[in-house]
Amino acid sequence: MKRLPSLLLLAACLATAASVQAAEPAAAGDCITLSPDQQLVRNGADRDVLLRNGDQHYLVRFERSCSSAAMSPKLAFVTPGRDGQLCGAGASRLRTNGQSCTISAVEPITAEEFTRKARARQ
Protein backbone atom coordinates (compact mmCIF):
# COMPACT_ATOMS: atom_id res chain seq x y z
CA MET A 1 0.00 0.00 0.00
CA LYS A 2 2.85 2.42 0.70
CA ARG A 3 4.17 1.93 -2.81
CA LEU A 4 1.22 3.62 -4.53
CA PRO A 5 1.81 7.10 -3.02
CA SER A 6 5.53 6.77 -3.78
CA LEU A 7 4.80 5.86 -7.39
CA LEU A 8 2.36 8.76 -7.73
CA LEU A 9 4.94 11.15 -6.29
CA LEU A 10 7.58 9.83 -8.68
CA ALA A 11 5.23 10.24 -11.66
CA ALA A 12 4.41 13.82 -10.61
CA CYS A 13 8.11 14.66 -10.28
CA LEU A 14 8.89 13.23 -13.71
CA ALA A 15 6.03 15.15 -15.31
CA THR A 16 7.20 18.38 -13.68
CA ALA A 17 10.79 17.80 -14.81
CA ALA A 18 9.64 17.15 -18.38
CA SER A 19 7.60 20.37 -18.52
CA VAL A 20 10.49 22.42 -17.09
CA GLN A 21 12.88 20.89 -19.62
CA ALA A 22 10.50 21.68 -22.50
CA ALA A 23 10.45 25.37 -21.52
CA GLU A 24 14.25 25.75 -21.48
CA PRO A 25 15.95 27.54 -24.39
CA ALA A 26 17.50 25.35 -27.06
CA ALA A 27 21.23 24.89 -26.51
CA ALA A 28 23.75 24.80 -29.35
CA GLY A 29 23.27 21.03 -29.62
CA ASP A 30 19.49 21.44 -29.58
CA CYS A 31 18.96 23.01 -32.96
CA ILE A 32 15.71 23.38 -34.84
CA THR A 33 15.37 22.65 -38.54
CA LEU A 34 14.24 25.74 -40.40
CA SER A 35 11.12 25.33 -42.51
CA PRO A 36 10.53 27.13 -45.81
CA ASP A 37 7.24 28.25 -44.18
CA GLN A 38 8.51 30.97 -41.82
CA GLN A 39 7.28 34.24 -40.39
CA LEU A 40 9.62 36.67 -38.60
CA VAL A 41 8.10 39.40 -36.44
CA ARG A 42 10.76 42.03 -35.99
CA ASN A 43 8.89 45.26 -35.21
CA GLY A 44 10.70 46.76 -32.26
CA ALA A 45 13.41 44.12 -32.55
CA ASP A 46 16.55 44.96 -30.67
CA ARG A 47 17.16 42.08 -28.30
CA ASP A 48 14.94 39.40 -29.93
CA VAL A 49 12.63 38.46 -32.81
CA LEU A 50 9.60 36.20 -32.98
CA LEU A 51 9.81 33.22 -35.33
CA ARG A 52 6.98 31.06 -36.64
CA ASN A 53 8.65 28.04 -38.19
CA GLY A 54 5.96 25.88 -39.77
CA ASP A 55 3.56 25.20 -36.90
CA GLN A 56 6.19 25.84 -34.20
CA HIS A 57 6.78 29.21 -32.53
CA TYR A 58 9.94 30.63 -30.96
CA LEU A 59 11.40 33.69 -29.27
CA VAL A 60 14.88 34.09 -30.77
CA ARG A 61 17.13 36.11 -28.44
CA PHE A 62 20.33 37.95 -29.38
CA GLU A 63 23.47 38.14 -27.24
CA ARG A 64 23.64 41.91 -27.80
CA SER A 65 21.56 44.62 -29.40
CA CYS A 66 20.66 43.88 -33.03
CA SER A 67 18.92 47.09 -34.04
CA SER A 68 19.28 46.43 -37.77
CA ALA A 69 16.98 43.39 -37.45
CA ALA A 70 13.98 45.72 -37.33
CA MET A 71 14.94 47.68 -40.44
CA SER A 72 16.98 45.47 -42.75
CA PRO A 73 15.21 44.38 -45.96
CA LYS A 74 17.12 41.09 -45.89
CA LEU A 75 17.46 38.69 -42.95
CA ALA A 76 19.03 35.23 -42.89
CA PHE A 77 19.79 32.77 -40.12
CA VAL A 78 23.27 31.27 -40.56
CA THR A 79 24.71 28.31 -38.65
CA PRO A 80 28.20 27.31 -39.85
CA GLY A 81 28.37 23.61 -40.65
CA ARG A 82 24.62 23.16 -40.11
CA ASP A 83 22.76 24.54 -43.11
CA GLY A 84 19.05 24.89 -42.52
CA GLN A 85 19.42 24.78 -38.74
CA LEU A 86 18.92 27.43 -36.05
CA CYS A 87 20.75 26.96 -32.76
CA GLY A 88 21.16 28.92 -29.55
CA ALA A 89 24.22 29.38 -27.32
CA GLY A 90 26.08 31.45 -29.92
CA ALA A 91 26.11 28.74 -32.60
CA SER A 92 23.86 30.69 -35.01
CA ARG A 93 23.74 34.27 -36.25
CA LEU A 94 21.10 36.49 -37.82
CA ARG A 95 22.63 38.26 -40.80
CA THR A 96 21.15 41.61 -41.76
CA ASN A 97 22.36 44.16 -44.29
CA GLY A 98 24.34 45.97 -41.60
CA GLN A 99 25.02 43.47 -38.81
CA SER A 100 25.65 39.88 -37.91
CA CYS A 101 23.88 39.22 -34.61
CA THR A 102 24.75 36.22 -32.44
CA ILE A 103 21.79 34.12 -31.28
CA SER A 104 21.93 33.44 -27.55
CA ALA A 105 18.73 31.39 -27.21
CA VAL A 106 15.91 29.84 -29.21
CA GLU A 107 12.98 29.56 -26.80
CA PRO A 108 9.84 27.61 -27.73
CA ILE A 109 6.61 29.53 -27.10
CA THR A 110 2.98 28.68 -27.71
CA ALA A 111 1.02 29.91 -30.73
CA GLU A 112 -1.02 32.05 -28.33
CA GLU A 113 2.13 33.66 -26.87
CA PHE A 114 3.42 34.29 -30.40
CA THR A 115 0.18 36.02 -31.41
CA ARG A 116 0.03 38.08 -28.21
CA LYS A 117 3.68 39.19 -28.46
CA ALA A 118 3.32 39.95 -32.19
CA ARG A 119 0.27 42.16 -31.55
CA ALA A 120 2.10 43.98 -28.76
CA ARG A 121 4.89 44.91 -31.21
CA GLN A 122 2.58 46.58 -33.75
> pLDDT for 1-13, tens place per residue?
555 444 344 444 4
User: Cα–Cα distance between 1 and 92 in angstroms, integer?
Assistant: 52
Measured at the CA of 58, the angle between CA 61 and CA 75, to 5 degrees, comes to 65
- For residue 79, the model assigns a pLDDT of 96
Task: Give the model's pLDDT for residue 29.
Answer: 57
pLDDT at residue 22, rounded to an integer = 45
Distance from C-alpha of 87 to C-alpha of 81, rounded to nearest angstrom? 11
**Which segments of the chain have a pLDDT < 70?**
1-29
pLDDT at 13: 44
User: Where are the chain's structural domains?
Assistant: 25-120
Q: Taking a C-beta distance cutoff of 8 angstroms, is the pair 26, 107 a contact? A: yes
pLDDT value at residue 119? 94
